[in-house]
Amino acid sequence: MVRPFVLGCIGALARVGSGDFISTDYREYNDGALGHRPHQEFHSSSEYAPILQVNIWDPDAISDVGSHIFLRHDGNDSSPLSSPLILDSHDLSAVYMNRSFKNVFGTRVQENLGKKYLTFWGGEKGDGIGDGYGLAYDETYRLAYKISAQNIQVHSDLHEFAFTGNGTALVTGVDKIRARRSDLQEGWETPERFEVLNAVFQETDLETNDVIFDWRALDHINPMDSFEPRGSGWDAYHLNSIQKTQAGNYLISIRHMHAIYLINGKTGEIIWTLGGPHNDFIELPPAAGVDELAQPVLTMGWQHHARFVPGTDETQMTFFDNHVKETSHGECDSDCSRGLHIAINDTASPPTVRLLQEFLHPSRLQAQSQGSVQPLSPVPGNLGNVFIGWGRCPTFTEHTSSGDTVLDVQFSPWHSAEIPDALDNYRAYKMDWTATPWWDPVLAPRMNSQGELVVYVSWNGATEITTWVVRGAARDLPGKKGRIIAVSPRTGFETKMVLGSTEWQYLWAEAVDWKGNVIGSTEVVDLATTELSVATDMYESEAVFPPLETEETRPAAGVSKLVVALLSTGLGVFVLAFIAAVVFWWHRCTDYRSLEAADFDLETESEHEYSDVDAEGSDDGVEGGDPQSTRDEDSRALLPKAG
């Protein structure tokens, strides 16, 4: 505990600023004053992150479950490529971006055989249909799996890439075919010949990509029941979610049928249908406490993301009911898009469904496409908080089980005639993720407008950084055992420290975790040969997010209350002297695997000048490793970009 405490003491003596820029001006943001796709850039990375607009933030009611938030972030004119996006759920700072894909869908964490992976779909898309791969990366961001549908004209569709946890994955596919009435089920009143996009899902082996189960909608569902008008490339089905059940069956959502189906995992036959023209369920009165104006479950339409609720023996379900096929904000009344929590009894005759709760966005949204609903910590009898992605509407929210909104964040202005190019997001998740990238952190030295030396540090994808330490040396010493010249808590994806001036020729930075262990180091920068450009921070604010209670009671960021108390008393002097002695002994007795005793020079007089840290966290930053000489396309996609 000595090293973390010493770091805390040094950090307390440094100036610490705000983290990533967060907007709280609803009107300015949604009028497009910050841009149609507002973003913030960095000095230590060529990546960029969205500027978020926080409308509701209730820290006492927000669930502790889920260390990070997972989205996709589409590009802009400067870089049109799309990126999986990971945000820190505690302060909304960006953690990971990788703008290397034409399109990204379904970013989240999944487990296979007890190991966690960052997964998403990446590839080409058009008219809501994809041609790409399901990608899974380990905790160092190395590619582990690349999965595709088989025996169709394209690769995997974008709508689902789901691990079963047992060595297999579920993927969707779309097969464009010319159908003949004579090849279809008897009695279907279809044209003699017609073009249709057949919806496909497969369960595949993650190691071999061999197909274990293959299901095709045209074998079981009459396309003429579709709510989607016929035309060239008729998307009659539009399958958008799959979940394998405990019994080995498959729960699927088919958007253009307005229906959710349970599919027999052996025969492929439909066990039951919820919603749509061939609904099997009768609806019971809503549960107590449901708003009396709530629309019945069976008015559902254009839905997404059907899932059984864990721990309910598959008697409860959540899904996103788009309800309409248009996008608006602040206009709908009874026909808003919503998250739904329902109970089903498929052993009754006939089966029954009951509305347990609906979750509405406080801005009364209609989302014509996409969307997700994720219970964060359900237990029997209590759904717990629910995390919702609003699809076409660029926002994510968190709600209590009773429907109250405790978190509401936008990552783009609302879609409107004035802002037709606003962002959207397929699904949003809040999940735990721990990662240490295979590439190194990055230190970018700059000069500010006052002529002071400033360093910006970042490590794209690293989740465990709590503190940055900048070191200096008169020469490029082997082992990098230089002197500490600045310390700052992590203030965002990119942390800024103003050094003022230094006599050291060589600088580097170390990323430190909460235990005080060094988990990564940047390359050494030679100030004598480095051209220092003048840095301008476009979004620099004195505001702190998350907001603190009062200025008087707020401890310095990254510093415990104990440290603050000690430093405010005479006891602090004794403690610092004691720590210096202990650290000296530690340095003599340990190898260099973490911050060492001699690293902390607590003398007030020195032949070198040590400057305070001005950690006005600009925004997130990116990884900085050297590219591998040989790699496949997907491994290259995970390479850090130079600052």
Domain ranges of the chain: 9-53+440-546, 281-435
Looking at domain 9-53+440-546, which CATH architecture does it have?
Answer: Sandwich (2.60)
Q: What pLDDT band is residue 21 in, cutting at 50, 70 and 90?
A: very high
Instruction: Please say if the pLDDT value at position 129 is more than 50.
Output: yes
The two three-digit tokens of residue 203, written as one number: 């369960």
3-state secondary structure of 452: coil
Poorest-confidence range of 190-194, 349-353, 438-442, 464-468?
Answer: 190-194
Q: What is the pLDDT of residues 511-523, one digit of tens each?
A: 999 999 999 999 9
Phi-psi region of 89 (alpha: psi -120 to 50; beta: other; left: phi over 0): alpha
Token pair, residue 180, equals 């003949």
Residue 481 pLDDT: 77
Task: Kindly report which listed range (50-59, 120-129, 363-372, 401-410) carries the lowest average pLDDT score.
Answer: 120-129
CA distance 330 to 315: 34
Average pLDDT over residues 539-561: 53
Mapping DSSP onto H, E and C, the string for 143-206 reads EEEEECCCCCCCCECCCCEEECCCCEEEEEEEEEEEEEHHHCCCCCCCCCEEEEEEEEEEEEEC
Judge whether 260 and 252 are in contact, CB under 8 Å: yes
Q: Name which of 248-262, 315-329, 597-611 the model is least confident about.
A: 597-611
Q: What is the pLDDT of residue 198?
A: 96
Beta bridge partners of 205: 168
Quote the percentage of the chain above a pLDDT of 70.
Answer: 80
Quote the CA–CA distance of 280 and 349 in Å, as a whole number.
10
Neighbours of 417 (CB within 10 A): 5
Burial (CB < 10 A; 0-12, 13-18, 19+), residue 478, is: exposed
Amino acid, single-letter form, for residue 261: Y
pLDDT at 551 over 50: no
Residue 126's pLDDT band, with cuts at 50, 70 and 90, is confident
Per-residue pLDDT, 570: 39
Query: Residues near 335 by Cβ (< 8 Å), separated by ≥ 6?
Result: 295, 323, 324, 366
Average pLDDT over residues 252-277: 98
Q: What is the pLDDT of residue 544?
A: 65
Range with the poorest average pLDDT among 177-186, 196-205, 431-440, 568-577: 568-577
| 378 pLDDT tier (thresholds 50, 70, 90) | very high
Q: 33 Cβ partners below 8 Å, 6+ apart?
A: none
Residue 235 pLDDT greater than 60, yes or no: yes
187 pLDDT exceeds 90? no
Q: Give the per-residue pLDDT at 567.
A: 35
Banded model confidence at residue 318, pLDDT cuts 50, 70, 90: very high
**Mean pLDDT, residues 506-514:** 96
Q: What is the pLDDT of residue 347?
A: 97
> Between vectors from CA 319 to CA 316 and to CA 322, what angle results, nearest 5°?
150
Q: Is the pLDDT of residue 3 over 80?
A: no
547 against 608, higher pLDDT:
547
For the chain, the average pLDDT equals 85
At 337, the pLDDT band (50, 70, 90 cuts) reads: very high
Distance of alpha carbon 400 from alpha carbon 615, whole angstroms: 35
Residue 577: name the closest of 558, 557, 604 by CA.
604
User: What pLDDT digit, counting tens, does each position of 391-400 carry?
Assistant: 999 999 999 9
Q: Are 123 and 102 in contact (CB under 8 A)?
A: yes
* Tokens coding 140: 């160092």
Give the pLDDT band of residue 475 (cuts 50, 70, 90).
confident
Q: Give the pLDDT of residue 560.
A: 37
**Range from 268-282, 478-492, 545-559 carrying the lowest mean pLDDT:** 545-559
Among 55-64, 226-235, 535-544, 583-592, the least confident range:
583-592
pLDDT digits (tens, 9 = 90+) for 584-636: 334 433 333 444 434 433 333 333 332 333 333 333 333 333 333 333 333 33
The percentage of residues in the chain with a pLDDT greater than 90, rounded to a whole number, is 73
Question: What's the CA gap between 159 and 369, in Å, rounded?
Answer: 12
Average pLDDT for residues 436-452, to the nearest whole number? 95
For 566-575, what is the mean pLDDT?
Answer: 38
